[in-house]
Amino acid sequence: MYEYLKSLHLIFVITWFAGLFYIVRLFVYQIEANQKPSPEREILLTQYKIMTYRLWFIITWPSAVLASIFAFWMLFFTDLGKAWLQMPWMHVKLGFVFVLYLYHLKCHQIYKQLQNDKFNYSSNFMRLWNEGATIILFAVVFLVILKNAFNWIYGVIGIFLFSIIIMLGFKFYKRLREKK
């Protein structure tokens, strides 16, 4: 039973992250469409609102809920899950999952603002925001795979360096876009 739960959990974690990655990309497009002249702006904004609605409520939210249900089921209703709850790496992982929930809720707030034609963020901010889910994904995958072999100091340094590399890549990409 545990392996089935784990498989379902992983499937919905993957679709949840896919939704988070793509929704923020759609936010970028929606923000940039708002800067286009009429009637292009209205046509694009209408289409992006439909696309973000479908992605958010048909894929991303259901995936988040189902990934969570299967995770809780594994952790609280199986012997292996109960044993994992005693391990320090699982506490750290659950901390990152909590941050992922916060990220998801912030994306929901941004989604609602954009659906109401409130553009509070730049497309460059959204490109950078999109990397938040990537950092969380890296942290969780390394924690789950390495478990007790994970060296906390190197892990923290690695996530910090990975974040710096992402920032530098973002700045480099921004310069390339501005030259065009």
Mean pLDDT, residues 124-147: 86
Q: Can you give the pLDDT at residue 54?
A: 98
- Closest to 87 (Cα-Cα) out of 75, 99, 97: 75
pLDDT of 35-84, one tens digit each? 999 999 999 999 999 999 999 999 999 999 999 999 999 998 888 888 88
Nearest to 61 by CA among 33, 114, 91, 23: 23
93 annotated among ligand-binding-site residues: yes
* Contact partners, residue 154, CB within 8 Å, separation at least 6: none
DSSP string, 62-111: HHHHHHHHHHHHHHHHSHHHHHHTTSHHHHHHHHHHHHHHHHHHHHHHHH
